[in-house]
Amino acid sequence: MSQLVEYVRMFGRFQRNARLYLINSALSGVSLGIILILYNLYLISLGYDTDFIGLVLFVATISAAITIFPAGLCIDRFGGKMVLIWASVAGAIAGVGQILFHQPVPLLASSIIAGVVGAFFVVINAPFLTANSAPAERPHLFSLNIVLLLATAVVGQLLGGVLPLWFRAISWLMAPLPPGLEWILVHQVEARSYQLPLLFAGIIALPSFIPLLLMSDDRPAYSAERASRQDTIPWRQQIGLLVQRIRLRTILVSPIFVLTLVQVLIGLGAGLLLPYLNVYFVYQLGVSSALFGLLDGGANMISALLSLIAPWLAIRIGKINTITLTRLISIPLLFTIGITPFLPLAAALFLFRRGAMNMSAGIFQVFSMEAVPREHRGLANSTYQASYQVAWAVSAPVGGLIIARVGYLPVFIGAAILYLLATVILWGCFRGREATLTEEAERQDMAE
């Protein structure tokens, strides 16, 4: 309870833009939870297999990866507020397409747009919070952001689990639409029972625009001058300069290179398995969508509670040790979920596996920003996110194909091995360097 009280007090001391960003995360979390529970099940109910789900994930994540670096440049030029607003608008349009369209080509096209929009959100998160916070409050700020998103996602996951059952029981919602309007909703009862909650998720996400509009303008003062200079440089030369910057500043530059490698391994493991966990529990272990929504919501709630503890743990044993310990605990839990046919055991381990893996996510974000010079943080975060997205894009369709042809066990084993490699590399490279990197970051922020 004292931890919760301390977080409430710190929220009032955070900078205005940081507080509004946290409110936006909380308001959008419910919709995110519904979508995470139902979208893959919706595609399955339309008659698609896991290999098509893998293709949808591939085009979304590869388009996000391609957009990562241009997104970083847009954020530097236009500021976080403007990018967040327009990315939210574009994301809403893409989401409507993903829900209303049910033919392969339109689904893939809307997934590409969603991937592009997603790139802006993943790039802006860490630099925006870092720019709007002091060094001492960052572990709590980053962790609280994750906690709010997870806690509200729990509500969405619980709703996402039961709403299909409720809608399916209402006969007039499942009835054929009048002529001329039948294209709006799908005809299959099961598919429509998933489609309607997804549309509902879009509606309840609308209030999340309000805190974005209330943010103070954070467009860099030098952006207009810099833009006028860049306008005189041919676009091909600008791309060449960007590639040169990436090559010089990331390849073989230890902190960014190692953290990028860690992100690649985590992305490969996550893409291989995580998109199919809801399908695994519903169609392999036989749970209902409502029960899986309860399980997934419970897992997120435990993740949120553990994330509140992570800053306290990092103060006592260090950021790197905290990340290493929590991720190592999650790996045997993940492996056991994949090999046990006993549903109660799999469900119990599922509740805690995600919490153990994700409780230090905010600490990892803080360290990944503090490990690089201040002027390189935007580029570094773009590199981390691009690496993760590309790795996810590569492994997600592979996971879908393996499941469709062999089963789930190989993807559980592969994900566990990749997570273990990433954790060992992170600990081996940074266990003795954390204090030096953190002190250097604090000196740079104090000099700002």
Q: Tell me whether residue 314 is in a domain.
A: yes
Q: Tell me whether residue 142 is in a domain.
A: yes
Q: Give the torsion through C-alpha atoms of 309, 311, 312, 316, to 10 deg.
A: 130
Q: How high is the pLDDT of residue 326?
A: 93
Q: How high is the pLDDT of residue 238?
A: 46
Phi, psi of 125 (to 5 degrees): -55, -65
Q: How high is the pLDDT of residue 146?
A: 82
* Rounded Cα–Cα distance for residues 238 and 19 (Å): 35
Q: Tell me whether residue 233 is in a domain.
A: no
pLDDT digits (tens, 9 = 90+) for 248-262: 444 444 678 888 899
Q: Tell me whether residue 396 is in a domain.
A: yes
Q: How high is the pLDDT of residue 248?
A: 45
Q: How high is the pLDDT of residue 428?
A: 86
* Rounded Cα–Cα distance for residues 55 and 247 (Å): 30
Please give the tally of structural domains in the chain.
Answer: 1
Q: Tell me whether residue 221 is in a domain.
A: no
Q: How high is the pLDDT of residue 250?
A: 42
Please identify every stretch of the chain with a pLDDT value under 70, giving residue numbers as ranges: 1-5, 180-183, 218-254, 374-376, 378, 433-448
Amino acid at 371: A
Helix (H, G, I), strand (E, B) or coil at 357: helix
**Which parts of 359-408 fold into alpha helices (H)?**
361-370, 377-405
CATH number reported for the structural domain that contains residue 341 in this entry: 1.20.1250.20
Q: Tell me whether residue 285 is in a domain.
A: yes
Specify the residue for token string 């099940």: 41
Q: Tell me whether residue 312 is in a domain.
A: yes
Number of H helices, E strands in the chain: 20, 0
pLDDT digits (tens, 9 = 90+) for 130-171: 778 887 788 788 888 888 887 888 888 888 888 888 888 888
Q: How high is the pLDDT of residue 419?
A: 95
For the record, the structure tokens of 339 come out as 């090999």
* Rounded Cα–Cα distance for residues 227 and 384 (Å): 25
Contact 115, 135 (CB under 8 A): no
Q: Tell me whether residue 232 is in a domain.
A: no
Q: How high is the pLDDT of residue 181?
A: 64
Which structural domain, as residue segments, surrounds residue 117? Answer: 2-215+245-442
CA torsion through residues 235, 240, 242, 243, sign: positive
